[in-house]
Amino acid sequence: MPLDIVLLVLFGALLHATWNAIIKAGTDKSLDAALISAGGAVASLPFLPLLPLPQPQAWPFIGASAILQFAYFQLVAAAYKAGDIGLVYPLMRGGAPLIIVATSGLILGENLTGGALAGTMTICAGILTLAFEARHGSRHAVMLALVNACVIATYTYVDGIGARISGNAVSYTLWMSLLPPVLLFAWAILQRGIAAVGTHIRRNWWRGLIGGTGSIASYGLALWAMTKAPVATVAALRETAILFALVISVVVLKEKASVWRYLAGVIIALGGLMLKLA
């Protein structure tokens, strides 16, 4: 994989870890997830007139992706309520590329080289190693994380294909970002009422704007990379976000890191190097 693609995907991983930390640190994870989704849509609006519309055949993928993104954000919030980030994040982000690697040949007809496959599996192994430190955690949290891993794998396929046929990966990403916050806030208002949702927005709008901008930029970089390199390889490299999450957890959130976290960091770094050399 070319160095410029590797670096851009890694930068996207940093942005991804940052907005996940914003949700985890919040007092209302469900509404914060909706805010971040809305922030991504707001950040997208100024650029839409400057970009070509996606090709007509890409719109069904945009619609399907919006529904999957709604499910994804709901599951992220629920999983962070049920379990520690040291358990939930690795299972969600590590399980998805494992599913993609196992099925990309059948679904996309992509055959990874031996080096790319080895690097991908190494990164996945490193991410899943992090779950050992929280292996006695909530079974409910584990189930939510694994279900979300399946959702992540599904929308990765949908968007990887959609971005390729759209004619412009950036335009696809920005249009795709508009519908999920509508669904998320409609659901939140139905569950809690407009007054409670409005109060949270007034107090925390800045969290949504910062996190949402990082979220849409992170995913846009990944989708662009998927137009230049195999989806499975990009999906695995993107999961190095866990390394940035580890740094944020120790330096910013003042959490203690176990030996499993450091071991996983070494394994993930090794996998990234293998992908670069593949």
pLDDT tens readout for residues 162-190:
988 999 988 998 899 999 999 999 999 99
* 115 HSE (CA, 13 A, CB side): 8
pLDDT of residue 95: 76
pLDDT of residue 50: 92
Question: Rounded CA gap, 16 and 238, in Å?
Answer: 9
Torsion sign, CA atoms 149, 256, 138, 212:
negative
pLDDT of residue 178: 93
* 79 HSE (CA, 13 A, CB side): 25
Tens of pLDDT, residue by residue over 20-36, are: 788 888 778 889 999 99
In degrees, rounded to 5, the angle at the alpha carbon of residue 100 between the alpha carbons of residues 94 and 106 is: 160
pLDDT of residue 255: 67
pLDDT of residue 273: 67
Which of the residues in the chain have pLDDT under 70?
Answer: 86, 112, 130-131, 133-137, 239, 255, 257, 272-273, 275-278
pLDDT of residue 100: 80
Print burial letters for 51-73: b (CB count within 10 Å at least 16), e (below 16).
eeebeeebbebbebbbebbbbbb
Token pair in block for residue 96: 């998805």
pLDDT of residue 109: 76
Are the beta carbons of 5 and 225 closer than 8 angstroms? yes
pLDDT of residue 258: 74
In degrees, rounded to 5, the angle at the alpha carbon of residue 164 between the alpha carbons of residues 159 and 166 is: 90
pLDDT of residue 136: 57
pLDDT of residue 2: 81
Question: Rounded CA gap, 44 and 81, in Å?
Answer: 29
How far apart, in Å, are the Cα atoms of 105 and each of 99, 178, 230, 244, 257?
Answer: 11, 31, 10, 30, 37
